[in-house]
Amino acid sequence: MYQILKKEYLANNIWLMDVEAPRVAKSCQPGQFVIVKMDETGERIPLTVCDYDREKGTVTIVFQKVGASTEEMAEYEVGESFMDFVGPLGCASELIKMPIEELKKESILFVCGGVGTAPVYPQVKWMHEHGIDVDVIIGARTKDIMILEDAMRKVAGNLYIATDDGSYGFQGNGCDLIQDLVKNQGKKYTRVVAIGPMIMMKFVSLLTKELGIPTIVSMNPIMVDGTGMCGACRLQVGDEIKFACVDGPEFDGHLVDFDQAMKRQRMYQTEEGKAMLRRTEGASHHGGCGNCNG
């Protein structure tokens, strides 16, 4: 059993929890995720790691109430426990695999929005701990639904805030602010990391392709099972078929077919859509299970 040691309401039905999971905390890296299962009959819920403390043996998760399972999860209190807390899963961020001296030559901009701010935080924190300053944009529709600003401000080299309604920081979305930083403020970035809603990552990638800036995106929003067996996170990356949970969740944003991924995401929400995917994709619908051609 995995006990909840801390619970905090952040904003917009978004919750943060610290969970006692020593074995996961010991080996997880920024960019990876865990699968949480509340009880024997509960749904498997993939959640990206927001933070971890190896000494205390804790892992921090952030989730938003969007369905029955996450609504039930939000009712859990400090002292209660999850039955399963499996991880770390997926591949760690490719940036932390680079030699530190090479990484210090990079000028990196992280762009995040919504619950996507959570998986960005451990990457920026890792950079800070290794003496690398990076710029961060947190975007939201309005100030009231922004999360993790204070924590991010402590580890980011420069933190920029963008709100659609102009209630806080720059008025506009993340793409508007990127253009302002590059075109008006003379910022020169060698790499962008964008994590957030699919539509946001799509338009950030379109913009950075135009600007000639290599871009990494995290496809965790389309994960369902988290093991490659359900086929929900199958996506086209250039001329290859990938699965977000086993091959990612990070990919080259300029190669991801976002329109196809978003269409699959909508189809997978209905039984009729799932049946159509099985019919059109056959055995390659799945991936990573060892029993098909995915």
For the record, the structure tokens of 199 come out as: 């539509």
> CA 205, 208, 211 angle in degrees (round to 5)?
155
Mean pLDDT value across residues 94-117: 92
Domain range enclosing 26: 2-89
3-state secondary structure 177-228: HHHHHHHHCCCCCCEEEEECCHHHHHHHHHHHHHHCCCEEEECHHHCCCCCC
Give the residue from 61, 89, 117 where a domain finishes.
89
Tell me: do 240 and 261 sit in the same domain: yes
Give the residue from 218, 244, 260 where a domain finishes.
218
For residue range 120-150, what is the model confidence (pLDDT) as tens digits?
Answer: 999 999 999 999 999 999 999 999 999 999 9
Tell me: do 20 and 109 sit in the same domain: no
* Pair 286, 230: CB distance under 8 Å: yes
**66 — pLDDT class (breaks 50, 70, 90):** confident
pLDDT greater at residue 223 or residue 289: 223
Percent of the chain at pLDDT exceeding 70: 85
Tell me: do 123 and 212 sit in the same domain: yes
How many Cβ atoms from other residues are within 10 Å of residue 254's Cβ?
16
Pairwise CA distance, residues 119 & 289, whole Å: 26
Tell me: do 199 and 103 sit in the same domain: yes
* pLDDT at 61 > cutoff 80: yes
Question: What does the pLDDT read at residue 279?
Answer: 43
Mean pLDDT value across residues 246-259: 86
Q: Three-state DSSP class for 230?
A: coil
Mean pLDDT value across residues 15-19: 96
Name the pTM for this structure. Answer: 0.84
- CATH number of the structural domain spanning residue 139: 3.40.50.80
Pairwise CA distance, residues 290 & 286, whole Å: 9
**Number of structural domains, the chain?**
3
Tell me: do 126 and 176 sit in the same domain: yes
Pairwise CA distance, residues 65 & 71, whole Å: 5
* Pair 139, 152: CB distance under 8 Å: no
Tell me: do 34 and 70 sit in the same domain: yes
Give the residue from 201, 218, 235 where a domain finishes.
218
* pLDDT at 274 > cutoff 60: no
> Lowest mean pLDDT: which of 87-101, 102-116, 276-290?
276-290
Tell me: do 119 and 203 sit in the same domain: yes
| Torsions phi, psi for 247 (to 5 deg) | -95, -15
CA torsion angle 272 277 278 283 (round to 10)? -170
Residues in a beta bridge with 52 = 59
Question: Letter for the amino acid at 14?
Answer: I
How would you classify the pairing of strands 158-163 and 170-171? parallel
For residue range 170-204, what is the model confidence (pLDDT) as tens digits?
Answer: 999 999 999 999 999 999 999 999 999 889 999 99
- CATH number of the structural domain spanning residue 38: 2.40.30.10
Tell me: do 209 and 226 sit in the same domain: no
Tell me: do 106 and 199 sit in the same domain: yes
Q: Of 133, 138, 141, whose CA–CA distance to 112 is shortest? A: 138
Q: Of 232, 256, 254, whose CA–CA distance to 243 is shortest? A: 232
Tell me: do 7 and 77 sit in the same domain: yes
Task: Give Cα separations from 172 to 139, 186, 194 (angstroms).
Answer: 9, 19, 16
Tell me: do 73 and 115 sit in the same domain: no
Question: What does the pLDDT read at residue 267?
Answer: 59
How would you classify the pairing of strands 250-252 and 58-64? unpaired
Tell me: do 46 and 21 sit in the same domain: yes
